Amino acid sequence: MTKKEKIAIQGELGAYSHIASNQLFGNSPVKTCLTFEEAFKVAFNDESYKIVIPIENSLAGRVADIHYLLPKYKLQIHAEHFQKVEHNLICKHDTNLSDIKYVRSHAQAIGQCQNIINKNKFKTIISADTAGSAKDLSLSNDKSIAAIASKLSAEIYNLKILEENIEDEKGNVTRFLIMGKKVQQPDFDQNKKFITTCIFRLKSEPAALYKCLGGFATNQINMTKLESFSVKNTFEQTNFYLDFEGHLEDKLVQNAMEELSFHTENLSILGVYEASKFRQN
């Protein structure tokens, strides 16, 4: 994926979505969006765009709102990418550690860097995203504020890195989905590993979930992720997000999907794509 693509992300330049985009698409131009929904709308309204969207983090779990946007816009998943997250304490060039009283960042980043915050007795300021915190810092003359963000953010906004890799736990990884409006499905190859993603809603009948997933067991298909989330504004209906290993052209997968569809009232295939090599680590 090195050719120039039109990419949209949520957050400012320097966000981890931007880093993931650079690794996937080289230095293709990136359109920044204020919200996840705005990014989805960009790709929905212009099929020449792809979006790079975080869906889950190894420490923080699933990313809020994404599961509700997937069935709403029904963009297709073209690929997945696992991005290592390394947080840094960054500040203005004329600022020293002793000057800092406040640290600004996204709530998840602040939660992942509690050791340095507690050690220095920093007060925290919650922002919409990590890179946005760095951008705001670059526009301020207040030496008492630092930010938690990526090295790319420090480079883009001409800031100084006071301390690198300040996260409490190493091995912090975010899984991203690369999505677009066009259906883009790789050819089936028995020598390659694929992931299929779908969202479904069960029929209202006893043991419906047990029955619809039985086909995966009998056909020896490994489910890698299954999550439920409420249909918006109701407690009566639930959608399920499912990732499993396999390709829709595989006969065993077709058998499992037939069983799944029999016990669901709504089923959407969001994508078939090659499994990231990260899964083999």
Which pLDDT score, from 0 to 100, does residue 246 have? 97
Please tell me the distance from the alpha carbon of residue 157 to that of residue 160, in angstroms, as a whole number: 9
Average pLDDT rounded to a whole number, residues 180-187: 93
Residues noted as catalytic: 174, 176
CB atoms within 10 A of CB 119: 8
Which pLDDT score, from 0 to 100, does residue 1 have? 43
**Does the pLDDT value for residue 233 go beyond 70?**
no
Please tell me whether the overall predicted TM-score, pTM, comes out greater than 0.85 for this model.
Answer: yes
Please tell me the distance from the alpha carbon of residue 232 to that of residue 239, in angstroms, as a whole number: 10
Average pLDDT rounded to a whole number, residues 18-27: 93
Which pLDDT score, from 0 to 100, does residue 133 have? 96
Evaluated on CA atoms 22, 63, 168, 131, the torsion sign reads positive
Q: What is the DSSP string of the chain?
A: --S--EEEEES-TTSHHHHHHHHHHTT--EEEESSHHHHHHHHHH-TTEEEEEEEEETTTEEPTTHHHHHHHH-PEEEEEEEEE---EEEE-TT--GGG--EEEEEHHHHHTTHHHHHHHT-EEEEES-HHHHHHHHHT---TTEEEEE-HHHHHHTT-EEEES---SSS--EEEEEEEESS---PPP-TTS-EEEEEEEEE-SSTTHHHHHHHHHHHTT--EEEEEEEEPTT-SS-EEEEEEEES-TTSHHHHHHHHHHHHTEEEEEEEEEEEPPGGGG-
**Does the pLDDT value for residue 173 go beyond 80?**
yes
Mean pLDDT of the chain: 92
Average pLDDT rounded to a whole number, residues 94-120: 93
Q: Give the model confidence (pLDDT) of 33-74 as tens digits.
A: 999 999 999 999 999 999 999 999 888 788 878 988 999 999
Average pLDDT rounded to a whole number, residues 13-38: 94
Which pLDDT score, from 0 to 100, does residue 235 have? 63
Which pLDDT score, from 0 to 100, does residue 89 have? 97
List the Cα angle 33/3/55 in 5-degree steps: 40
**Does the pLDDT value for residue 189 go beyond 50?**
yes
What is the pLDDT confidence band of residue 2, given thresholds at 50, 70 and 90? very low
Structural domains of the chain, with CATH? 6-85+172-180 (3.40.190.10), 88-163 (3.40.190.10), 194-280 (3.30.70.260)
